[in-house]
Amino acid sequence: MNLDWMVFKRVLRSGAKNFVRGGAVSAATVLIMTVTLAIIGTLVFLSALLSFTLNTIKEKVDVSVYFVTTAHESDILAVKDKLETLPQVASVSYTSADVALATFRERHATDELTLQALDELGGNPLDASLAIRATDPEQYESIVNFLEATPALSAEGASIIDRINYAQNKDVIDRLALAIRATREVGLFIVLIFALASVLIAFATIRLAIYSSRDEIAVMRLVGASNAYIQGPFIVAGIITGVVAGGLVLLLFWPASWYAGAKTVSWLGGFNLASYYLSHLPLLFAILMGSGIVLGALASMLAARKYLKV
Amino acid sequence: MIYFDKVTKNYNGNGAAVEDVTLSIAPKEFVSIVGHSGAGKTTLLKLLLAEERPTEGNVFYESIDLNDLPLSALHHYRRKIGMVFQDFRLIPNKTAYENIAFAMEAAGRTDEEIRTDVPYILELVNLSDKAMHFPSQLSGGEQQRIGIGRAIINQPEIIVADEPTGMLDPINTYDVVEILKKINELGTTIIITTHNKGVVDAIGRRVVTMDRGKIVRDDNQGQYAL
């Protein structure tokens, strides 16, 4: 135990010294790693922006159920309660006929002709309605199927549902669902490609840095050092590289997101990069530091191992 | 102590670098292996360090057959041997002190042992004042003295020196030979390869002469005879 601790301390110290004495090579490795992590960080922002946009679009879609004018409010609310128990339903909002009329009048306040026509009709020609929002656009069909399979009936036994505007919206909803799914998949694919490319570049850089130490590794073997004792300091130096690069990226992202956020907030439909950075700092920290440490350690371990077969 | 039993080493079918060599070395011997370049001297040392494995035959260290040593156990074996290289092979980003200390660290010695032994060895090779210098700041002779310091720090049973004076001027060569003789007098077996007649004659001990991979002479009180 004591011996292990001594070895651990030596490996840490030696790794830190190697990193500091590495000079230009260490600096270059940190630089490349910083670029790699910056790409990974940007991808985090991009995927957040993508989900934000998709959610905004999703929220604009709903299906409305219109009830016959004779339907009792209690019957409509019973339908609402039933709908809310469905797992695929995110929310249901009730608009009574009176509220619908008031909204209609307000919207057409400057349109004399329409208001006049409405007055001439007498009474309230508008239906009460339920606006249903699904957790996922692909779920609308099953919600509509549910409504059709379990018809809401009045006390007299007649259906109180006048119409559901799903049929005319179906095409748009289907296309949107497809677009969202495709964007997700393509987005994920692009993110993975970029992440992979940057990881490979970081790997190659670290390998190159360790390549210059291959003679040194051979000498360490011949002097009687164990493989773990030789690899250890390289891994420590790799981890330091990752941590320094991760810290640099976090530092750089703060002014960058603040500047870019102020410029793009209206253009991105209300998505503010700076507030995303602040509210997701722990996540960004974990992703950047985690990737930096894993990348640095793994690349160093694999690269050093190549020269250990002496 | 060391026994080469009918050892042959081929490199990728380019003829034998070492051919049918049988050689035994007793404890506390000082053996000079001489021969022209390409005679197989260095290969012989590499076989002893298990840096290379024989194509045929066996190399024994005491009762250990080096053929049977797995890669993962090699470092334990190599700690019994101190290695000195022609091109010094110090670790460039470690100071003179750290280069010597590294061999102790690798052998799992404690920090206190390192703090007492390294300065002692630096004094022995007469480089106490250059302890904090990096190899690039030392002359060839100084680097080789650090290399010897590193080789002897763990009090190995054998010192293997491959052309240790090959890159040194006559004065540094003399220093290195004197240090090696002193180490041998203290009871360490020494095997060196060289093609420097002056070195062999100055040592005046057993000389094994190689030519084209074979041992052609083995004299107990030898002189350089090529």
Token pair for A73: 């409010």
Nearest CA in chain A to B76: A224
Q: What angle do CA A211, B141, B208 make, to 5 degrees?
A: 90
pLDDT tens digits for A231-282?
Answer: 999 999 999 999 999 999 999 999 999 998 888 888 877 888 888 999 999 9
Q: What is the DSSP string of B107-163?
A: TT--HHHHHHHHHHHHHHTT-GGGTT--GGGS-HHHHHHHHHHHHHTT--SEEEEES
Note whether A216 contacts B91, CB cutoff 8 Å.
yes
Write down how long chain B is.
226
Write down how long chain A is.
310
- Whether the per-residue pLDDT at B87 is higher than 50: the answer is yes
- Residues of chain A contacting residue B74, judged by C-beta atoms under 8 Å apart: 221
Note whether A3 contacts B108, CB cutoff 8 Å.
yes
The pLDDT score that the predictor gives to residue A310 is 65
pLDDT tens digits for B7-31?
Answer: 999 988 777 899 999 999 999 999 9
A243 or B76: which leads in pLDDT: A243
Domains in chain A with CATH codes: 2-57+177-306 (no CATH), 69-159 (3.30.70.3040)
Token pair for A206: 């670290």
Cα separation, A35 vs A249, in Å, equals: 8
Residue B82 pairs in a beta bridge with B159
Residue at A165: amino acid letter: N
Note whether A224 contacts B103, CB cutoff 8 Å.
yes
The pLDDT score that the predictor gives to residue A135 is 83
Tell me the longest C-alpha to C-alpha distance in chain A: 104
Query: What is the pTM (predicted TM-score) of this model?
Result: 0.74
The pLDDT score that the predictor gives to residue A1 is 46
Whether B158 has its CB under 8 Å from any CB of chain A: the answer is no
Residue A297 pairs in a beta bridge with none
Shortest Cα distance, chain B CAs vs residue A11, angstroms: 10
| pLDDT by position in tens, chain A (length 310) | 466 888 899 999 999 999 999 889 899 999 999 998 998 898 888 888 888 887 887 777 778 888 888 888 888 888 888 888 888 888 888 888 888 888 888 888 888 888 888 888 877 888 888 888 888 877 888 888 888 887 766 666 777 888 888 766 777 777 877 887 888 788 888 878 888 888 888 888 888 888 888 888 888 888 888 888 999 999 999 999 999 999 999 999 999 999 988 888 888 778 888 889 999 999 999 999 999 999 999 989 988 888 887 6
The pLDDT score that the predictor gives to residue A68 is 85
CB A237 within 8 A of CB A301: no
A1 or B51: which leads in pLDDT: B51
How large is the average pLDDT for residues B60-79? 89
Note whether B106 contacts A215, CB cutoff 8 Å.
no
- Whether the per-residue pLDDT at B130 is higher than 90: the answer is yes
**What rounded mean pLDDT belongs to chain B?**
91
The pLDDT score that the predictor gives to residue A60 is 75
Nearest CA in chain A to B48: A222
Token pair for B221: 């009180």
Query: How many other β-carbons are positioned within 10 Å of the β-carbon of residue A179?
Result: 13
Whether B69 has its CB under 8 Å from any CB of chain A: the answer is no
Neighbouring C-alpha atoms within 13 Å toward the C-beta of A191: 17
Cα separation, A140 vs A147, in Å, equals: 11
pLDDT tens digits for B168-214?
Answer: 888 889 988 998 999 999 999 999 999 888 899 889 899 999 999 99
How large is the average pLDDT for residues B151-168? 91
- Which range, of A294-298, B52-56, B218-222, averages the lowest pLDDT? B218-222
Whether A310 has its CB under 8 Å from any CB of chain B: the answer is yes
The pLDDT score that the predictor gives to residue A147 is 82
Reported in sequence order, the residue ranges of A205-278 that DSSP labels E, i.e. its strands, are none
Shortest Cα distance, chain A CAs vs residue B102, angstroms: 8
Whether A260 has its CB under 8 Å from any CB of chain B: the answer is no
The pLDDT score that the predictor gives to residue A152 is 67
The pLDDT score that the predictor gives to residue A47 is 83
- Whether the per-residue pLDDT at B222 is higher than 80: the answer is no
Cα separation, A209 vs A36, in Å, equals: 16
Helices A24-60 & A166-211, crossing angle to 10 degrees? 180
Note whether B154 contacts A222, CB cutoff 8 Å.
no
Residue B33: helix, strand or coil by DSSP? strand
Question: What ipTM, to 2 d.p.?
Answer: 0.79
